[in-house]
């Protein structure tokens, strides 16, 4: 798979995810006691292939519950995959490298308030990572620089403030400063603006873009908002029920989508303001990772199946039995659909 869509970055993948699987085992909900409490397994990430090049911004988009956060956490080593491989800078990520990796790859979470200790000053929060990783240099100089790089200027003005004394957007900047202090090569940001006021979302996104341009950072931005993907990403990967179903250059995927699921997502975007959270956009059962349909996992909800087009093409049987793999249909634009 070619790493970049539009020539951003140098093309060498910095992060490669290969056939990654992450499962959670649990108990069936209501009534399970009566039926003997059968254990269930949620295949939250179910065979993901993805790569991010140096200096590239990739948006990972899909409805709530499709496995975006689990994939991000697995990449960060925060949840153990059942199988598959994660390679960083060409080398498999092993447990003993995790410490070094945790410095090079920083995660920014959705909720900046939860990510910051309310009893710690902003200075202490940003300095914490420096201390954990024993970064050499004068701590206050490094903290100042990180805050300024995150757009908090003059930085000294923020040193002694507590998280509740600054705005939500500024709190996310503090979190980003904490990441930047470690001079990362990559940031994995899980819905970095979805808890912020609409008015500051654009500023934080502009900051992330600027960091890529200034430091050559790679960014994987998880989002349920295709409008956001459009604004910042070089490439977009669309996830459905634990798998990437379409990936390619952002403009190509968003203006000429190939997967019926991506098409459906894009149809709801104008009314929904780009927000896919908490609403089912298609007919049929909402996706459930404990009961993944065989064949194409999207087929029970696929408009192409419902309209009869899949049958016309003689693809109904294949849709029900054979898992579609990503195929390159246009340059660097891949789709996992038997009908494409």
Ligand X SMILES: Nc1ncnc2c1ncn2[C@@H]1O[C@H](COP(=O)(O)OP(=O)(O)O)[C@@H](O)[C@H]1O
Binding stretches for ligand X (CB under 6 A): 24, 26, 42, 44, 62, 64-70, 289
By CB under 5 A, tell whether 69 contacts Mg ion.
yes
Whether residue 60 contacts residue 222, with contact meaning beta carbons closer than 8 Å, is answered with yes
Residue nearer to Mg ion on the CB measure, 68 or 299 = 68
Residue nearer to ligand X on the CB measure, 239 or 337 = 239
Residue 72 CB, nearest approach to Mg ion (Å):
8
Residue 6 CB, nearest approach to ligand X (Å):
26
Residue nearer to ligand X on the CB measure, 232 or 239 = 239
Among Mg ion, ligand X, none, what binds residue 238 when CB lies within 5 to 8 Å by partner kind?
none
C-alpha distances in Å from residue 125, one per residue of 111, 128, 160, 270, 303: 15, 5, 10, 39, 49
Longest dimension (CA), the chain: 69
Q: Give the single-character DSSP code of 152.
A: -
Nearest to 103 by CA among 172, 175, 186, 190: 186
Among ligand X, Mg ion, none, what binds residue 8 when CB lies within 5 to 8 Å by partner kind?
none
Name the closest residue to Mg ion (Cβ). 69
By CB under 5 A, tell whether 262 contacts Mg ion.
no
Residue 9 CB, nearest approach to ligand X (Å):
25
Residue nearer to Mg ion on the CB measure, 69 or 319 = 69
Residue 20 CB, nearest approach to ligand X (Å):
12
Among Mg ion, ligand X, none, what binds residue 77 when CB lies within 5 to 8 Å by partner kind?
none
Among Mg ion, ligand X, none, what binds residue 180 when CB lies within 5 to 8 Å by partner kind?
none
Using the structure block, give the residue that is written with the tokens 């340059």. Answer: 331
State the virtual CA torsion across 151, 155, 159, 163 in degrees, nearest 10: -20
* Rounded distance between C-alpha atoms, residue 64 and residue 293, angstroms: 18
Say if residue 42 is exposed, middle or buried (CB neighbours under 10 Å; 0-12, 13-18, 19+). Answer: buried
Residue nearer to ligand X on the CB measure, 70 or 125 = 70
Segment interacting with Mg ion, rule: CB under 5 A, options 60-68, 131-139, 140-148, 173-181: 60-68
By CB under 5 A, tell whether 106 contacts Mg ion.
no
Phi (first) and psi of residue 215, to 5 degrees: -110, 0
Residue nearer to Mg ion on the CB measure, 74 or 305 = 74
Q: Is 218 helix (H, G, I), strand (E, B) or coil?
A: strand
Among Mg ion, ligand X, none, what binds residue 67 when CB lies within 5 to 8 Å by partner kind?
ligand X
Q: Which two tokens stand for residue 217?
A: 């950072």
Residue 83 neighbours by CB distance under 10 Å = 11
* Rounded distance between C-alpha atoms, residue 296 and residue 288, angstroms: 14
Residue 317 CB, nearest approach to ligand X (Å):
29
- Residues in Cβ contact with 282 at an 8 Å cutoff, skipping those fewer than 6 apart: 261, 264, 301, 303
Among Mg ion, ligand X, none, what binds residue 44 when CB lies within 5 to 8 Å by partner kind?
ligand X
Segment interacting with Mg ion, rule: CB under 5 A, options 69-77, 113-121, 173-181, 285-293: 69-77
Residue 12 CB, nearest approach to ligand X (Å):
28
Q: Are strands 83-88 and 13-27 parallel, antiparallel or unpaired?
A: antiparallel
Whether residue 224 contacts residue 239, with contact meaning beta carbons closer than 8 Å, is answered with no
Among ligand X, Mg ion, none, what binds residue 26 when CB lies within 5 to 8 Å by partner kind?
ligand X
Query: Which residues make up the interface to Mg ion (CB under 5 A)?
Result: 68-69
């Amino acid at each position: 798979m070619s790493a970049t869509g539009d020539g951003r970055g140098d093309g060498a993948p910095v992060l490669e995810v290969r056939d990654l699987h992450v499962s959670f085992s649990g108990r069936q909900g209501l009534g399970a006691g009566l039926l003997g409490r059968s254990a269930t397994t949620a295949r939250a990430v179910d065979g993901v292939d993805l790569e991010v090049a140096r200096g590239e911004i990739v948006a990972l988009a899909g409805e709530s519950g499709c496995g975006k956060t689990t994939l991000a956490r697995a990449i960060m080593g925060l949840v153990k995959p059942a199988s598959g491989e994660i390679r960083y800078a060409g080398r498999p990520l092993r447990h003993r490298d995790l410490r070094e990796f945790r410095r090079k790859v920083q995660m920014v979470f959705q909720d900046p308030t939860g990510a910051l200790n309310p009893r710690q000053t902003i200075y202490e929060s940003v300095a914490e990572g420096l201390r954990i990783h024993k970064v050499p240099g004068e701590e206050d100089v490094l903290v100042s620089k990180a805050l300024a790089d995150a757009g908090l200027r003059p930085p000294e003005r923020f040193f002694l403030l507590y998280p509740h004394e600054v705005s939500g957007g500024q709190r996310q900047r503090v979190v980003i400063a904490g990441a930047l202090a470690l001079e990362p090569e990559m940031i994995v940001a899980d819905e970095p603006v979805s808890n912020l006021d609409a008015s500051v979302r654009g500023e934080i996104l502009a900051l992330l873009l600027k960091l890529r341009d200034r430091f050559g950072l790679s960014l994987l931005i998880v989002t349920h908002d295709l409008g956001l993907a459009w604004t910042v990403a070089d490439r977009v990967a669309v996830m459905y029920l634990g798998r990437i179903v379409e990936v390619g250059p952002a403009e190509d995927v968003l203006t000429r989508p190939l997967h019926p699921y991506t098409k459906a997502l894009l149809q709801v975007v104008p009314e929904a303001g780009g927000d896919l959270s908490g609403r089912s956009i298609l007919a049929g059962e909402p996706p459930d990772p404990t009961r993944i349909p065989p064949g194409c996992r999207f087929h029970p909800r696929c408009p192409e199946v419902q309209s009869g087009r899949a049958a016309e093409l003689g693809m109904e049987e294949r849709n029900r039995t054979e898992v579609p793999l990503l195929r390159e249909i246009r340059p660097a634009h891949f789709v996992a659909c038997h009908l494409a």
